Structures are given as C-alpha cells and as structure tokens.
A and B are shown apart, each in its own frame.
Chain A
C-alpha cells in the first residue's frame, strides 16, 4: 500500500491523465504542489507572469492539440485572475482544467488571508467545479474533471484544493472508470433523424452547410469534406470553425456573420436549407434573428441538446457528436445518391460563384500610401506554410485575420470568439507553441490587446517558447473607434491609445524578443521574412497601419443580414440613438 501526500497524488493523477505541461503561478496555498515538481514529477511547469496568461495559454494548448490544457493558481487573487480565461473557455467550449490552491479547510469561510470562494465565483463560468475536502477524493476528482472537460460539449473545469488537503497523507488508488450518474452526453446521432436529414438535403435546391466550432472539437473535418464534396454542398465556416473546411476549395464560401463575406452571408439568407453542424446560431452570425435565413429549413446537429431550438427552431434536430453524425450522413447520402450523384444545383452554385467574383473582400493598398492591415495579413499568410498556426486577439485585427488568412486545415486558427477577450492572443500563442513545437505560431494582435497580456513575452523568453507577434498598430481601440465613426457621428471617445506608447520595438527588446518596425508597404515582406527566419526567440513586428481603415462588409448589430454594408462608401452615419446599434 502506497501512501503519499495529496499534492503528490494530484501530480501523479495528472501524469496518468496524460498531462505534460501546467501553466501556472505559485502562492502560499498551492506551494505543496510545487515541491514535488522540483524532482519527482515529469510534468513541465511553465511559469507565467499573470494567471490570466496561464489560463489563456492552457486554452491555446487545447485549441492547437485537442488535448486538455492545464493551468494552476494559488488561492484568492490567483484564482480570481483565472476568471477571464475560464469564462472564455466556457463560451468557446475549450477543454481546460484549472487547479487552484485554497486556504486550509479549518479556516475556509473565515475571510482568511487570500481566501476567495473560487468555486462559488466560477460556478457560472465553468462546465463544473469541485472543492475537495478529503485527500482520498483527489484522484477520483481529477479523473472526473478530465472526463467532464473533454467529453460531450467540452469546457473548463476547476478543482479547488485546500492546503491541508494537499499536505495530508492519503492512500494511492486509481479508479479505472469514472461514474457520474448525472452526466451522460448523447454522442451517437439518431439514425432515423439522419435519414430525415439526408432526404431533406437531397430535396433542397439551395443548401448551405453552416459549420461551427463543434466540427473542429469533434475532429470531424474529414467527414465534413466528404459530405460537402459528395453532395456538392457549399460550406460556410464561422469564426470558430475557420479551417474546418479548406478555404481554397471551390465549395468554400468563407466566414458568415457581422464581418463575413457577402457570399457567405447572402447564401444563408437565400438558402432553402441550412445544415448547422456544431454551430449555435450566435447573434454575430444571424444578425436580426427574425430576418435570418427566412426561407431555410433547418437541420441542426449539436452535442449539446440545449443549443438545439435555443435561437432558431430546427426541422430536423440531431443530438450527437459531429463526427458520428456527419459520418452517418455521408453513408446515408452515398446510399441514396448512388451512381446518379447529387441533384443538379448548378444554378445555385453559379449564383454563389457570381457573388464571390463580384463581392470579394477588398482593400486598396497604394504602393506609397499608408500601410493597410489587410495587406500585412495577406503577406504574413503568403510567406507562411500551411502548418502555420495563427492566433488572434479581439478587434479589427481579428476580423482582418479571419478574412484575409487562407485556412486550409483545422486547429490552425485560434481566437476568442464567444467572450471576445482582449489580451487572448499572446498567451494563447504561447500555449499553442507548447502544444505544437514543430509548427510556426503567429499571433496577429491589436495594439490595445497586446498591452493587456504582453507580459507573457517574458515567459516566452525564459521558457524558450518562440512565436511571432504581429501587432496591427493603429494607435486606437480600433473596433470601438469604427463603431463611433459609423454610429456615433465620428465623436471619438476613449479610444485613442497612441501608436508610439509604448515603443513596441523597445518593449520587445526589453523582454528579450526581437522587435521590428514596419511603416511602409515596401518594408513588409523583408520584415516578415526576417521574423520567420528567427526561431530561437520571439519576434514582435510593429506594423504601423492606417488608423482610418475599417472592417467591411459589416452587418450592424441588430440589423438584418440583408442590410449588409459592403464598404465605407455605403455608410450613412447616424447620431440618432434610436438607430444606433447595440454592441
């Protein structure tokens, strides 16, 4: 019989769950976990500079690898600093496990030093959380936490461990299986519903596959490819699903939604059938819900029953894992189509093609004019290989990245979709690089976002986790500025940052990274080539971009997708508060 401390049991359980790295910062309550990390546990601890960074790094790791990311913090402020990444992971269904130290059980509830009720605080922003009061429960809790985080609709799980529980001795025992009577996600799609869905697909004249993040989570890209090509079904990939289907494929219409392509947005508006695969009819995709895809019947596949019918009623609801359901759809479609192939929808496909040609994303880069952000993104992509992982912050730069990067594979695009967390990119890039050390990682960040989590460049240097951070520096909180320009009469308020403060090149150097400044279009390629050639350190490129550039097309918040605005010339600024959209 082996006895060991709770902390050692924890680390051993993490090891058996396949954990290779923990992103964290220690403190009083979590110190018992740090001692065995010195020489006993093979798990690598990556010391971050802020717990928010540790949390987003765990998310980046999970996005890039599909395996759960692990972050760790001490009690009180350590735990509360994890709140933002936990909420982010909840909104984007990212499997992470957070471990927090807690004050010793005898003083829990006494306002002890660095006490915070972290299970209470994080209840609504985790998939589940645990407060472990008995060292004998630690191992089983770890098993349950990983099971919950990674199955069904994935999400964040937090384990709170009081210091005395970590220090107490317990017997080692590894439960072979997890038993959670209240948790049995439906993963296998109902075959009868699949048959209904396929019949509906075959009968449709203007179908669109509306692909969301669930397809990436389910690793269902191959199945999706077969479904789309077999049925000749056009595909839109949401912000959460970029790369689930190759952008270069003729059936790919790109991203739908508020800043989506005209073709993707309008295809959904005109469709007679939407096949929603792991997508949740988010308001940034549907625009005004009542006016969304008015002619379409809906097949809705999702592993979370609560998503089905939440925003839009489904004609054929299918609860299940996207990979299982899409594979079944492919088999059924193959059987029913037989030799004849898909029905003739050449008119629909021709219409889509025509829109694509007439309304591509566009921008105007003059050789001697100000540097356009879209040009920088296009060159970053052109000079990178297909295995490059791109990570974005939140704002205009995120939209430029999603619009102008060409995605060919899943798990090569990482961003904060649901919560829209500024500061996500730098730490998530760090985590992605840890998960995929063989791939190049490029963060496309805003100057505002960068300043929220830039401290993780120190982690990058000391832990030798190099990536490229391309700041699209417009000197503004650009996305907010764009809304003030369009909907608040160009009355700019609280959005000017100053492109020179901080000096991003010097800041990069101070952190031990390489800093490069790019002011003119003709400097872009050389800077990117230099950045991509440096592999032993991180590189920050300070792209001084045109601050007046805006993201288009745009469907103003609350407007119908039919009222898509193609470019700035089509804007009628308004200061009427009735007309101003709600963010």
Chain B
C-alpha cells in the first residue's frame, strides 16, 4: 500500500447500542481523521450492526486508529478492506436538470450505465445508480454538465470476497502487535 493520502475502507462490527455511532465518529475526529463516508445497518446477527467507514489517511496512522477503534468496548471487530479482495458498492440518487433535448441525452446515459430512472418531471430526471464507487463517479461527471439539482449517496458498503465473514478474520492490528489474539 502506498504511503500517500489514500481512501481506506474499514468495516466495523459493533454492538447496536445508543451512542456507538458517536463513539466511533468521535474517535476519528479526536485523532484528526476525516471520514469520507459512513454507512450503518443491521447484520446477520441480531444486536450487531455493521459500519462501513471510508477514511482519507496515510497507512501508518490508520493502524493507530484501527487499534483505538478496537479498544472501544462496543466494537466487536474491525477489518480494513484490501481493495483487491473485497467488493465495494454504493447507492446514489441524483436529480438532474433535464429540459428540452437534454432529456434524451440523459436517458441515453442512463441506459448505457444501466441505471434506473426513478422520477421524471417537466424539468428534471432523477436517476438511481448502484455500483462500484468508480462507476458512480463516472456517471456523476457526465451528468454534471446538465446541472445537478440535488444528490444523495449512501456511502460505501463492503464485504470481503471468499468464504469467510468478518468474525472469522484475525484483526490486523492484533497481528502486527504480536499479541495472542484480540
């Protein structure tokens, strides 16, 4: 991994308790990191939520933040995703100005990108796009020319490829610290 500024995706399995989101977000703020996106939702296990946090950092301090996160009592497990071996997706709704002949061009873009049209008015078209973050960026760049009225994104979610779930994985931070397990 390079040492420069870079987006990292972290999954955190957390207890579904009041204040957990504040604890996690507060820790990033206190250590001086900017959260790029944060998505939370329930998991396969009742009582546990999963947070996907995209953060802009350098590699070394990120290790410090994952170790600190892992110390939070309500955090069960942390996983830093390796882009090569994980699936990352995001959902976005974008309302684009669509007057006159722009309408047709926007619909063409929508069809090339295989995204859904979810609302149409005399002046706008709203697209629903899901997929890899790069795909959403490419789409946004194209439709930006027409004028974006508003935009809402869920933030990234991620799972590792392969058979194992987050709970089977050895915490990277614990491994590097040489402990006998987290």
Residues of chain A having any CB pair with chain B under 8 Å: 119-120, 123-124, 127-128, 131, 148, 180-184, 186, 188-190, 193, 304-306, 308-310, 316-320
Contact A186 B71 (CB under 8 A): no
Q: Is the beta-carbon distance between B76 and A182 smaller than 8 angstroms?
A: yes
A-contact bits for B146-182, CB 8 A (1 contact / 0 none): 0000000000000000000000000001101111111
- Given A131-B19, A181-B76, A182-B75 in contact, is the A124-B30 Cβ separation under 8 Å? yes
CB distance from B140 to the nearest CB of A (A): 35
Interface stretch, picked from B62-70, B89-97, B124-132, is: B62-70
The residue from B30, B76, B178 contacting A193, defined by CB atoms under 8 A apart: B178
Asked if B11 is at the interface of the complex by the 8 Å CB criterion, the answer is no
CB distance A305 to B181 under 8 Å?
A: no
A309 with B63, Cβ < 8 A, contacts A182-B72, A319-B177, A319-B179 known: yes
Residue B18 CB within 8 A of the other chain = yes
> Measured between alpha carbons, how far is A128 from B76 in the docked complex, in Å?
14
With A124-B26, A183-B73: A317-B19 Cβ-Cβ less than 8 Å: no
**What size tier do the contact residues of chain B reach?**
20 to 34
Complex contact A320–B75 (CB within 8 A)? no
Residue of B15, B63, B67 near A181 (CB, 8 A) is B15
Q: Which residues of A contact B18 (CB under 8 A)?
A: 131
| B179 with A305: CB separation less than 8 A | yes
Chain A neighbourhood of B67, CB < 8 A: 305-306
A186 to B67 Cα, complex, angstroms:
13
Taking CB atoms, residues of chain B closer than 8 Å to A188 are 180
Chain A residues in 8 Å Cβ range of B27: 124
* A305 vs B76: C-alpha distance when bound (angstroms): 15
Q: Which residues of B contact A180 (CB under 8 A)?
A: 73
- The answer to whether A306 and B71 have CB atoms under 8 Å apart is yes
For the complex, is B74 an interface residue (Cβ under 8 Å from A)? yes
Of B30, B68, B73, most buried by chain A (CB within 10 Å of CB) is: B73
Give the Cβ gap from B155 to chain A, nearest Cβ, in Å: 23
When C-beta atoms are compared, the residue in chain A nearest to B181 turns out to be A186
| Contact A123-B181, Cβ < 8 Å, known A186-B174, A304-B71 | no
A186 to B71 alpha-carbon distance, docked (Å): 11
Whether A306 touches B182, Cβ cut-off 8 Å, given contacts A182-B15, A317-B177, is no
Chain A to chain B contacts (Cβ below 8 Å), 16 pairs:
A119-B19, A120-B19, A123-B22, A123-B23, A124-B26, A127-B73, A128-B72, A128-B73, A181-B76, A182-B74, A305-B177, A305-B179, A306-B70, A310-B64, A317-B176, A317-B177
Task: Determine the distance from Cα of A188 to Cα of B23 in the docked complex, in whole angstroms.
Answer: 28
- The smallest beta-carbon distance between B142 and chain A, in angstroms, is 43
CB distance from A357 to the nearest CB of B (A): 39
Residues of A within 8 A of B70 (CB): 305-306
